[in-house]
């Protein structure tokens, strides 16, 4: 190999190594992508979901004391959309960070048998609670008011302030959480609010 080619090769190798070092340093400072954990019940969980005692009134009150909103996420073992939500949407640090900062998530099983105490004190298995609220698909996310007083006396169908009953693309998924946090539901439907944000 001629000297000129050897020198060019050494310079090229240095540039490649410098680039790799720079990339590694950038990755060290990039937000970590949180991984979902598959529970024994077949549902996916994020480590920041609420470890609920399944007393919804207490969960709502606890969220409020920390300046957060309560959202109930319904999942199902083997649900492809649930898996996508956890592996794509909630793996995005921007989406996960926003939700974690502003919401407490209680994850329930749409066909589960754990006993849950509803806001009005009614105790029933998860699957019956899902029926009570008309939850028929997964993932479904129910968003509730900021206080128990806003729920008191209302039938289950009138307790939510918003519902996400499908899995939209990540940007729209995040927008729904922003809509609830901003109390957009007090002035207009989500679709109208979303159009104004575009």
Confidence (pTM): 0.81
- The total of structural domains in the chain comes to 2
Provide the pLDDT for residue 15.
Answer: 40
Q: Indicate if the alpha-carbon torsion angle 166, 170, 175, 178 is positive or negative.
A: positive
Alpha-carbon dihedral 147, 141, 90, 92, rounded to 10 degrees: -80
Answer yes or no: do 16 and 40 share one domain.
no
Answer yes or no: do 123 and 160 share one domain.
yes
Provide the pLDDT for residue 151.
Answer: 93
Q: What is the residue whose two structure tokens read 């959309």?
A: 81
Provide the pLDDT for residue 164.
Answer: 97
Burial of 117: CB neighbours in 10 Å, binned 0-12, 13-18, 19+: middle
Provide the pLDDT for residue 100.
Answer: 96
Answer yes or no: do 22 and 72 share one domain.
no
Provide the pLDDT for residue 23.
Answer: 37
Answer yes or no: do 123 and 185 share one domain.
yes
Within its chain, how far is the Cα of 164 from the centroid? 11
Provide the pLDDT for residue 197.
Answer: 85
The total number of residues shown for the chain amounts to 198
Provide the pLDDT for residue 34.
Answer: 62
Q: For residue 50, give the nearest of 60, 38, 39 by alpha carbon.
A: 60
Answer yes or no: do 26 and 44 share one domain.
no
Q: For residue 81, give the nearest of 187, 170, 189 by alpha carbon.
A: 170
pLDDT by 10s per residue, the chain, length 198: 444 444 443 334 444 334 434 333 443 333 445 678 888 888 999 999 999 999 999 999 999 999 999 999 999 999 999 999 999 999 999 999 999 999 999 999 999 999 999 999 999 999 999 999 999 999 999 999 999 999 999 999 899 999 999 899 999 999 999 999 999 999 999 999 999 887
Answer yes or no: do 90 and 10 share one domain.
no
Provide the pLDDT for residue 18.
Answer: 41
Answer yes or no: do 42 and 26 share one domain.
no
Provide the pLDDT for residue 33.
Answer: 53
Answer yes or no: do 66 and 137 share one domain.
yes
Answer yes or no: do 65 and 6 share one domain.
no
Range of the domain at 19: 1-30
Answer yes or no: do 46 and 117 share one domain.
yes
């Amino acid at each position: 190999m001629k000297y000129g080619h050897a020198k060019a090769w050494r310079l090229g190798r240095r540039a490649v190594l410098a680039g790799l070092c720079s990339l590694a340093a950038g990755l060290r400072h990039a937000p970590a992508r949180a991984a979902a954990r598959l529970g024994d019940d077949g549902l996916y969980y994020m480590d920041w979901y609420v470890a609920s005692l399944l007393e919804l009134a207490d969960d709502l009150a606890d969220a409020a004391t920390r300046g957060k909103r309560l959202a109930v996420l319904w999942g199902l073992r083997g649900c492809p959309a649930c898996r996508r939500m956890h592996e794509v949407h909630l793996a995005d640090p921007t989406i996960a960070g926003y939700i974690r900062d502003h919401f407490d998530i209680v994850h329930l099983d749409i066909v589960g048998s754990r006993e849950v105490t509803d806001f009005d004190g009614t105790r029933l298995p998860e699957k019956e609670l899902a029926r009570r609220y008309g939850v028929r698909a997964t993932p479904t996310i129910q968003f509730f008011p900021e206080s128990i007083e806003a729920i008191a006396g209302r039938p289950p169908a009138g307790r939510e302030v918003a519902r996400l009953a499908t899995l939209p693309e990540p940007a729209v998924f995040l927008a729904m959480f922003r809509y609830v946090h901003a109390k957009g539901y007090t002035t207009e439907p989500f679709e109208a609010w979303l159009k104004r944000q575009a």
